[in-house]
Amino acid sequence: ETGVTQTPRHLVMGMTNKKSLKCEQHLGHNAMYWYKQSAKKPLELMFVYSLEERVENNSVPSRFSPECPNSSHLFLHLHTLQPEDSALYLCASSQDLGDRVTDTQYFGPGTRLTVL
């Protein structure tokens, strides 16, 4: 597999369910990101990880819990979500963070989440 992959591609869950989204990058990158894309709103950055450490958390509700066990994998654990959390969740990766030239972020295909 190449690039950034995400599973599942589609997910329907009830408000009391617990589920996880998975992202895997095959690019040898050190930084990974979660974004939320809602209808008619700009993409919202949720979390940033660099070398498995969380470096950014953009005031995301605690019902979203990220996990980065290694630089190739990123998870987003979901529990007690609300219908307004329905959106496309996109994962991205980039070579590095830090005091260098800004690296380009490469995105996965996303998980389309519907909360009933």
Residues in touch with another protein (CB under 8 A): 4, 9, 31, 33, 40-43, 45, 48, 56, 88, 90, 92, 94, 97-110, 112
Cα–Cα distance, 44 to 69 (Å, whole number): 23
Cα–Cα distance, 57 to 84 (Å, whole number): 19
Q: Closer to another protein at the Cβ: 37 or 80?
A: 37
Q: Closer to another protein at the Cβ: 41 or 70?
A: 41
Angle (CA) 37-96-66 rounded to 5° is: 45
Least distance CB 32 / another protein (angstroms): 10
Count CB neighbours of 91 within 10 A: 27
Least distance CB 110 / another protein (angstroms): 4
